Structure 1
């Protein structure tokens, strides 16, 4: 409780003193105490006590700001849409209009600058390439009372852009994969892709692309040192609005094989085989005192007693790389916990908290058609759907989290609950039993059910799966939208299984065509069940919640744990499709500040990294693929082996040997300043295309220079190549689907163009409820207490006075003695 006039409370002191003085002078003590309390309560009320309470205010005319993106990339859309939306809203609610233009898209900055506890309607492609990160900006303004909406525009022109993604510094005689990324604004484009390396053709093919983004890997091995030039060109055969983004330049620098130290007792393991084929590897069984000759150290299955933190710490802090590989003598099995060597690692060698597991949503059809059935058997679709759903709930593994979504014209759902609790299982079973067909007026709306399931799965980590149980009858009008949703789920690594229920064993056991088409879009098939069959076969598994593996020749192997890229955008995991499973791992917990990149589908860490000083450390908490354990042999073969080379490459960092002058500079985008970092013991003389560069000293041996060029193509920085490409504005084209998820997750919504007129303002009004803190007066309790005490005092005093003044009446008063007559006469 606070007071508006706290100094008024000081008046209580003289009141108390006056009361004490009056009591000393003989005035009634109870009376004075009562008066002091009453006056004190009145003074407290006079000080205006208050508390802060919250109240909700519904705005009938919410304030709206329309932000129209007029940057270059929005030329693919109708740029009048923002003005049209503003015109349609301004007559119905207070609306302002803002726009921004240019060759950069600072959408996040615009969102923050326009936020004033109002509603923002973004008319943009959502491709933020400058300033504040857009999802962070939306999250920030949402917390301050602003709600963000957006309009999903359909492009009126198509365009395609090309980009080459690869490391800058490469190693001689190693196979390198250059990922050619082609993006399009529309749904279909055809083009010819030509890739040239040092003027020679390395790849040429005609491609029809239906994806928004397609990655074409091109492999090449360099056998000479120094600068090399790569050019990727697309020649579209259809509409292509921008020509500037059809060619991309990449300059790479090839260096000798870096020296790597392998501390291992097993030079026949798959790990050593991969490493020795890529680097100049020196093998040793013990960790030497001097690690300075090596760019990275790989420690393979060594106990803490065999490692020296005093040797590793200065080496890593000075810029060295470290990869620590697990096994039966490492991490939790090698006494790492609380040891000095654990201090340099990004993990703690004790069990990690459970973070993943199987996450299952059971989607049950409760549309009107499920009330029907077979007159002969007396079975209904809804009865068999419920029976199969309950069967799955009862039999799913205890380490699974599960939820139920019932779909028809309306959707009902439970939370996603851990199945380790029997009470949670009963909660789901009760929901299934109580939910029933919604009547013929509610047709099958599977798309809403899938979106509700997707939203539930967005809140959890681990493997994600949806099992749809239905009679298989879906309306043809909604099939295309359902297919799009199924593809979206597939792209988010959400597995979808479809079950079709039959009410008679005599029915032909084939799925309905539309239902089968939907399953095909999800890369699956329909499981058709007779009345006496149950869907338990869909959840057969080992303890990990994943399908039980095929037995192998190694008796120790019981289960397989598929690997999942937790961070697919990191240098190590980007553009690498990890399909391997492991049969064992070291149980560790990532430290605060580390990056968990790869885990099992149960959330157990497999690869965790961090930076320590100038160096890099990777904890690979499974084995070398050989030896006694054979946990991770699948990782070291085929495409999965690229993951191992990427991990060691990351630890190495810059593979170039130390020299007198070392230049590091990434390729740059036109109009965006680039930076060159030069390491040298004395002030170097660096020239860019023959012109000396101004250098700024940033450290004892480091210097920096700014490079800002508009002209694309290849350039020379004192023998180190740099490529300049088209402006970044032209790379991301079309509507950014990640934009939608950022808005949805913060309480907004993305509308199609045809939904703006009818739904946009209606939804904004429905959600325009603000919660505000307002002071609420607390005078009344003190005034009522003073009044009550005063009335009580008056009543007590009047009762006392009444008893004091009332005459006492005797029932039988004594009679007076009679007077004698003689005495009267004498008188």
Structure 2
């Protein structure tokens, strides 16, 4: 029953009820029958309400037999690798069969996200592009946004008819003299194979020359170099491809770096023989102290090595970090959970909670996919199938869940298959899970096999047995549970609950039904956990960007204190959780440790490194005020415990300076005029920030810049040199490289998953003519809200009341005494 109160199209008409009631009261006072007057007032009031046109908003599904389509054709410079006429040909093919518009954009920028949003007034968008957006709104955010408004996005995947390669150098801008620096040379190609010679020069002197045959889309070559002089230095990477290379401009990349003296850091430690101290003493100007002094202003970072909370001056550290200083806290046998940090003033600065608990860091999750025969069924009007929506939701979880999680995937009934528990810190692992999910199909025997959900749950349990920490299962199904198998499934769910495994039940529906409810048996399984099964329609996803994968994920995990475990000396491998962060990017971390401090990351912190298995946090960072804080929760590699000596040797040792450099930020002294400017892309203005106590004079290649004051000691300017290569900014070097349009080349494979998870599809050029319009027509439905008139109940009530009144009056007339009529007497 719809209990929503109606709205009125003509609400002012309702004002007539007041004088009507007043007239009725007057009529009663004049002696007219009270029941008659009340009846007439009610009848006339109902008629007035009907005249006011009451209505409610109803939801209806509309199928469009002639769907509107917007063909959006990307004709920017990077699309020269493909057939540039594909978009126009597609438009000519579609316009005679359905209303079709054509949009194109060109230039040296690719604002593809903006173009998708601009074309969203149509029900369907067909994007002919490489998907490499480099300007304006993020493309994947734009696809998600327009999908939420009812616009479906499709794309054409073109194969390049030309090959090309681009080169880029990635490194920090400001470097420290005497320290080994890493320059990562990134080469991208559009095709499947290319051979080239890579040459790297530093200050005009060759440091690397190598012939490379590349079959991957992206190849990274690391070049190590130590600068022994201060000031600006110039790094150039050049590739010389063999065979076809469509664009020549992106074969050279310039990188300008600025080398500064060793920054001063404070090491609060008594152990000057530890591997930690050896590393930092060789890289920085180190001052050692047993305590935290009151004045820290001279230091770029403070490194605290295995100190208890009582030994630290929290107020001094808070003021220092809040003002822009860097803080690195290294663990050990008297630090963190072993040093009374919990609920101390020092802990307030740190990105962790210093105690053990049931929460172990990232999520351990198994996605259990229903592939039984019933999932092959679909809606003929929409073209949607259960298995298609089930897989799309599973992929959305894989794409959007946190990088500190592990995910496994299992299927039951139609296909008996499962993966390992894979870390989501790896993009390759995400891609592997997505491929596995797409390959899952329903039982082709048409439902001959029942939905054996209990067997699927046991398979998920086996996967979770390989990891420690919080464990959960998400079941994604059409909700069809056979009554004969319900009791067995119920026992399995209750058993898993007793083992601390939480299960969330998701039921997929094909319609856009409002307030849809899950099937009873399926819902009964969810109620074992005190919840209802969650119903997901085609317009929603379980997990989307910028929101939790399930409601409640945004809350701080509830922590159950546990006794500090007895130390053991098993080995725990540590691995990066987030490989995109400055600290962990391109570091091949493979160290083993034998101990760690029990901590829990706080909300808002970034967990970068953890143990495997178990996912105990080892490196967690965040910003505090203007400064940066890193919590390194294993030891300095020395002493009787010697938890982590392997972290301080070989390739693993790069983690330590990378962590400290991140905490330092800009290693340059703050005195005098300090210029901050990144290298820029041709055609894209760059931003220059100058810090100075007096009005500075800054020149770009000898020409004075117009400065704007943005703070007490800060000034800004915008620059846009028109010549590629190296430029001088009052002694601070910058480089201008080829336009950003030429960096990412070839078809962006991430576009396929973004469109598929939003309900669209990517077609090859051979599929476009035969399938595109057919699929669009099958899915061309819209859910709209329309006014539903509610006059009829009021008119019917008025009629019934009037007829009732007439009938009652007639009956009363019949009951009145009538005169007795006698026969004439006999004469």
Give the TM-score, by structure 2 length. 0.75
State whether residues 368 and 409 of structure 2, in contact with CA within 8 Å, keep that contact through their aligned partners in structure 1.
no
Give the one of 196, 201, 210 matched to 2:201: 196
Alpha-carbon deviation of 1:302? 3.8
Q: 1:182 aligns with which of 182, 187, 190?
A: 187
Partner residue, 2:64: 59
Match of 2:368 among 403, 412, 420: 403
The aligned counterpart of 2:769 is 757
Q: 2:731 aligns with which of 710, 715, 719?
A: 719
Q: Evaluate the alpha carbon distance shift between residue 349 and residue 781 of structure 1 in structure 2; reply closer, same or farther with a 3 A threshold.
A: farther
Separation in 1, partners of 2:574, 2:142: 35
Change beyond 3 A, Cα 1:35–1:545: closer
- Would you say 1:48 and 2:47 are equivalent positions? no
Q: Tell me, in whole angstroms, the C-alpha distance in 1 between the residues paired with 2:83 and 2:435.
A: 37
2:296 corresponds to: 291
**1:148 Cα deviation from its structure 2 partner:** 1.4
| Cα deviation 1:640-662 (Å, max 9, x = unaligned) | 33233222111101001122111
Q: CA 1:153 to 1:407, structure 2 compared with 1: closer, same or farther past 3 Å?
A: farther
Following superposition, the deviation at residue 560 of structure 1 comes to: 3.7
Distance 1:41 1:580, change over 3 A: farther
Residues 473 and 772 of structure 1: CA distance in aligned 2, closer, same or farther (over 3 Å): closer
What secondary structure sits across from 1:736 in the alignment?
A: coil
1:411 CA drift (Å)? 7.6
How many residues align? The count is: 680
CA distance in 2, matches of 1:36, 1:244: 86
Q: 1:25 aligns with which of 24, 30, 37?
A: 30
Matched, 1:651 2:576: no
Tell me the residue number matched to 2:598. Answer: 586
Aligned to 1:684: 696
Alignment match, 1:731 = 743
8 A contact 1:257–1:279 mirrored in 2: yes
Alignment of 1:227-242 (within 5 A): 227-242=232-247
SS in 2 for 1:286: coil
Equivalent of 1:322, from 327, 333, 341? 327
**Cα distance change of structure 1 residues 560 and 45 upon mapping to structure 2, 3 Å threshold:** farther
Deviation for aligned residue 1:715 = 1.5
Question: Does the CA contact (< 8 Å) of 1:150 and 1:751 recur in 2?
Answer: yes
Q: 2:42 aligns with which of 27, 37, 44?
A: 37
Contact 1:172/1:223 (<8 A) preserved: yes
Give the deviation of 1:17 after TM superposition: 2.1
Q: Measure how far apart 1:298 and its partner are.
A: 2.3
Residue in structure 2 matched with residue 150 of structure 1 by the alignment: 155
In structure 1, the partner of 2:623 is 611
Partner secondary structure for residue 186 of structure 2:
strand
- State how far apart, in whole Å, the 2-side matches of 1:456 and 1:685 are: 52
2:696 partner SS? coil
Cα RMSD for the two superposed structures: 3.8
- Give the alignment partner of residue 575 of structure 1, picking from 586, 593, 599: 586
SS at match of 2:816: helix
Q: Are 1:541 and 2:552 counterparts?
A: no
Q: What is the CA distance between 1:403 and its match in structure 2?
A: 1.8
Post-superposition shift, 1:271? Answer: 3.5
| CA distance, structure 2, for counterparts of residue 305 and residue 607 of structure 1 | 23
Aligned twin of 2:221: 216
SS of the residue aligned with 1:784?
helix
- How far apart are 1:786 and its partner, in Å? 2.4
Give per-residue Cα distances to partners, 1:590-616, cap 9 Å, x unaligned: 334x44444556666544433333322
Deviation at 1:758, TM superposition (A): 1.1
Residues of 2 paired with 1:298 and 1:352: CA distance?
Answer: 29
* SS of match in other structure, 1:249: strand
Task: Map 1:293-312 to 2 at 5 A.
Answer: 293-312=298-317
Name the structure 1 match of 2:168. 163
Aligned-residue offset at 1:225: 1.4
- 8 Å contact from structure 1 (residues 590, 605) kept in 2: no
Contact 1:489 1:495 in 2 (8 A): no
Rounded to whole Å, the distance in 2 between the matches of 1:614 and 1:808 is: 109
| CA deviations over 1:112-168 (Å, ceiling 9, x no partner) | 222214211111111111122111222222222222111111000101111100000
Query: C-alpha displacement at 1:730, in angstroms?
Result: 1.0
Task: Write the distance in 1 (CA, Å) between the matches of 2:163 and 2:224.
Answer: 29
Indicate the residue corresponding to 2:406 in structure 1: 463
SS of the residue corresponding to residue 287 of structure 2 reads strand
Deviations 1:38-63 (A, max 9, x none): 22222222211111121111111111
Equivalent positions of 1:249-264 (< 5 A) are 249-264=254-269
Distance 1:29 1:651 in 2: 87
8 Å CA contact 1:454–1:489 kept in 2: the answer is no
Structure-2 change in CA distance of 1:352 and 1:204 (3 Å): farther
Could you tell me how far apart the structure 1 residues matched to 2:806 and 2:637 are?
A: 94
**CA distance, structure 2, for counterparts of residue 13 and residue 448 of structure 1:** 55
User: Which sections of structure 2, spanning at least 5 residues, go unmatched?
Assistant: 1-5, 378-386, 418-425, 438-458, 472-565, 823-827
| In 1: Cα distance, 2:415 partner to 2:26 partner | 92
- How far did residue 26 of structure 1 move? 3.3
For residue 234 of structure 1, report the CA deviation from its aligned partner.
0.7
Find the residue that maps to 1:129 and give its secondary structure: coil
What are the within-5 Å matches in structure 2 for residues 785-824 of structure 1? 785-805=797-817
1:748–1:571: structure 2 CA closer, same or farther, 3 Å change rule?
same
Q: CA deviation at 1:460?
A: 4.6
- Tell me: CA distance 1:301–1:802, structure 2 relative to 1, closer, same or farther (3 Å): farther
Larger radius of gyration: 1
Q: Which runs of 4+ in 1 moved over 6 A?
A: 410-413, 446-453, 467-474, 495-498, 534-540, 806-809
Q: Distance in 2 between matches of 1:63 and 1:447?
A: 24
Q: Contact 2:572–2:611 at 8 Å: present in 1 too?
A: no
Name the SS of the counterpart of 1:191 in structure 2.
strand
Range that drifts further, 667-676 or 580-589: 580-589
Q: Secondary structure at the match of 1:760?
A: helix
Aligned position for 2:780: 768
Q: Distance in 2 between matches of 1:661 and 1:30?
A: 94
- Among 650, 653, 660, the alignment partner of 1:641 is 653
* Preserved CA contact (<8 Å) 1:585 1:631: no
Distance 1:693 1:17 in 2: 81
Q: Which residue of structure 2 aligns with residue 79 of structure 1? A: 84
Equivalent residue, structure 2, for 1:363:
none
Distance 1:793 1:604, change over 3 A: farther
Change (3 A) 1:559 1:16: farther
Deviates more, 1:794-803 or 1:49-58: 794-803
> Aligned to 1:611, what secondary structure does the other structure show?
strand
CA drift of 1:70 comes to: 1.0
Cα distance in 2, alignment partners of residues 467 and 780 from structure 1: 53
Q: Deviations over 1:3-44 (max 9, x none)?
A: 111122222222222222333333333333333332222222
Cα distance, 1:579 vs. partner? 3.7
CA distance change for structure 1 residues 48 and 353 in 2, over 3 Å: closer, same or farther? farther
Matches within 5 A, 1:63-142: 63-142=68-147
SS of aligned partner of 1:52: strand
Q: After the TM superposition, which of the residue ranges 756-765 and 317-326 deviates more from structure 2?
A: 317-326
Structure 2 vs 1, CA of residues 204 and 448 (structure 1 numbering), >3 Å: closer, same or farther?
A: farther
Counterpart mapping for 1:516-535 below 5 A: none
DSSP 3-state at the match of 2:302:
strand
CA displacement 1:233-264 (0-9 Å, x = unmatched): 11111211111111111111111111112234
Q: Which residue of 1 aligns with 2:794?
A: 782
| Distance change >3 Å, CA 697–CA 223, structure 1 → 2 | same
What is aligned with 2:485? none
Contact 2:24 2:38 in 1 (8 A): yes
- Spell out, residue by residue over 1:776-827, the C-alpha distance to the aligned partner (whole angstroms, 9 max, x if none): 1122222222223333333333333332346899xxx9xxxxxxxxxxxxxx
Give the CA deviation at 1:495: 11
Task: State the shift of 1:197 in Å.
Answer: 1.2
Distance 1:88 1:626, change over 3 A: farther
What is the rounded CA distance, in whole Å, between the counterparts of 1:799 and 1:348 in structure 2? 84
SS at match of 1:319: coil
User: Take 1:715 and 1:178, find their aligned partners in 2: how far apart are those partners?
Assistant: 20
- CA shift for structure 1 position 293: 0.9
Q: What's the counterpart of residue 685 of structure 2?
A: 673
Match of 1:693 in 2: 705
